[in-house]
Amino acid sequence: MTIPVMKPWLGEEEVAAAAATIASGWIAQGPRVREFEAAFADRVGAAQAVAVSSCTAALHLALLLLDVGVGDEVVVPSFSFIATANAVRHAGGVPTFADVDPVTGNLTGKTVEQALTDRTKAVLLVHQAGVPADVDEVRAVCSARSIPVVEDAACAAGSRLGDGPVGRGALMAAWSFHPRKLLTTGEGGMLTTDDVEWARRARRLREHGMSVSAADRHAMARVVLEEYLESGFNYRMTDLQAAVGLVQLRKLDEMVTRRRALADRYRQLLRDVAGLQLVTDPPHGQTNYQSFWVVLPDDFPVTRDELLGLMLTAGVSCRPGIMAAHLQPPYAGARFALPVTERLTRRSVILPLFHTMSHGQQDVVARVLQRAAA
């Protein structure tokens, strides 16, 4: 028996939606994408949603809309999937790594403030592993200097901030539909914002800079010659993906409820492991538990990598904790010391958590950890 770290929750409805799209004859960006955008915008409380091919693409577009260019600094956490930093490079900018809070794994007002310079053009605030970052606190630091805050909400569909969904009130937020996240379309992403002009330009940039989208041109009864108003990208989502996304979006609440129940059960099962730190809700919101990560205490009897080995032997697929970009070759070294990031990345483990996970499977995972701790 192998227990995966994550498994998308897909069923007959997704199969039927994809099949119906194929049967319709229109599979590239078209009516399903538009429908998915409207439904997603509504779900996260944004006025506009622009579907794209990945969250990395959405982050890239967000930075371009803010005019991030060569030499501009963008403050990001190193403690994130490397795409966060890569998006800054794609725009020509320079990622400036700031440290994170030891409990949430997110940037804070204080760590961001320490990383700001005269060349800071924007801040990319990650809701890491679905745990909502304290957006108000970071914004308060940034707005004093008129620095825009973009939210990397790749993992955070279904998470809550204050009394609303993550995404509500965001200047711009970027989302991922990779199968490692809750809601999946295979690959895919979304850029949300309340700004109509930004959304309009993002729609143009995702489709080669075309003045009229291919789908709109197709729907017109007259000859329309498009113009290419600026050099854009092919960042389109397909109708096949959007059809699956529409079904997944309807299941999102149920996914979050299930993950939160399983996370509570992990907390019960692991409460006797001395010194073990478990990911949890911050005071200002609720996580969707995109990842259930734990931090081993310094005096844990086995090393982190030995624990991963023990899990594997027991048929459990775990992952080392969230990576630190500044420890990888493209970003080697950091201008500021990042002691919290380095400790979390070396001492943490992501435990399996997926919608159809059984209590029996959870017991297996907990037992390996308990035995290793004994």
Ligand X SMILES: *Cc1c(COP(=O)(O)O)cnc(C)c1O
CB of 6 to ligand X, least distance (A): 11
Tell me the backbone φ, ψ of residue 122, rounded to 5 degrees.
-165, 165
CB of 126 to ligand X, least distance (A): 5
Nearer to ligand X, 90 or 178 (CB): 178
Nearer to ligand X, 32 or 181 (CB): 181
CB of 157 to ligand X, least distance (A): 11
> 3-state SS string over the chain?
CCECCCCCCCCHHHHHHHHHHHHHCCCCCCHHHHHHHHHHHHHHCCCEEEEECCHHHHHHHHHHHCCCCCCCEEEEECECCCHHHHHHHHCCCEEEEECCCCCCCCCCHHHHHHHCCCCEEEEEEECHHHCCCCHHHHHHHHHCCCCCEEEECCCCCCCEECCEECCCCCCEEEEECCCCCCCCCCCCEEEEECCHHHHHHHHHHCECCECCCHHHHHHCCCCCCCCECCCCCECCCCHHHHHHHHHHHHCHHHHHHHHHHHHHHHHHHCCCCCCCEECCCCCCEECCCCCEEEECCCCCCCCHHHHHHHHHHCCECCEECCCEHHHCHHHCCCCCCCHHHHHHHHHEEEECCCCCCCHHHHHHHHHHHHHHHC
Binding test (CB under 6 A) with ligand X, winner from 43, 160, 178, 206: 178
Stretch that binds ligand X, among 151-159, 260-268, 311-319, 325-333 (CB under 6 A): 151-159
Nearer to ligand X, 80 or 341 (CB): 80
Nearer to ligand X, 72 or 152 (CB): 152
Q: Contacts with ligand X in 222-281 (CB under 6 A)?
A: none
Binding test (CB under 6 A) with ligand X, winner from 104, 176, 184, 348: 176
Catalytic position from the list 7, 121, 181, 251: 181
Binding test (CB under 6 A) with ligand X, winner from 56, 108, 241, 361: 56
CB of 227 to ligand X, least distance (A): 29
Q: For residues 266 and 363, what is the distance between their CA atoms, to the nearest angstrom?
A: 9
Nearer to ligand X, 178 or 258 (CB): 178
Q: Contacts with ligand X in 94-133 (CB under 6 A)?
A: 126
Q: Contacts with ligand X in 179-208 (CB under 6 A)?
A: 189
Nearer to ligand X, 134 or 152 (CB): 152
Binding test (CB under 6 A) with ligand X, winner from 73, 151, 152, 207: 152
CB of 290 to ligand X, least distance (A): 8
Place of tokens 């979304």: 190
Q: Contacts with ligand X in 73-92 (CB under 6 A)?
A: 80-81, 83-84
The answer to whether residue 110 is catalytic is no
CB of 217 to ligand X, least distance (A): 28
Please answer whether residues 94 and 214 qualify as being in contact, where contact means their C-beta atoms are separated by less than 8 angstroms.
no
Nearer to ligand X, 325 or 357 (CB): 325
Please answer whether residues 156 and 288 qualify as being in contact, where contact means their C-beta atoms are separated by less than 8 angstroms.
yes
Binding test (CB under 6 A) with ligand X, winner from 21, 29, 48, 54: 54
155 belongs to the binding site for ligand X (CB under 6 A): yes
Residues lying near ligand X in the complex (CB under 6 A):
54-56, 80-81, 83-84, 126, 152, 154-155, 176, 178, 189
Residues annotated catalytic, as ranges:
181
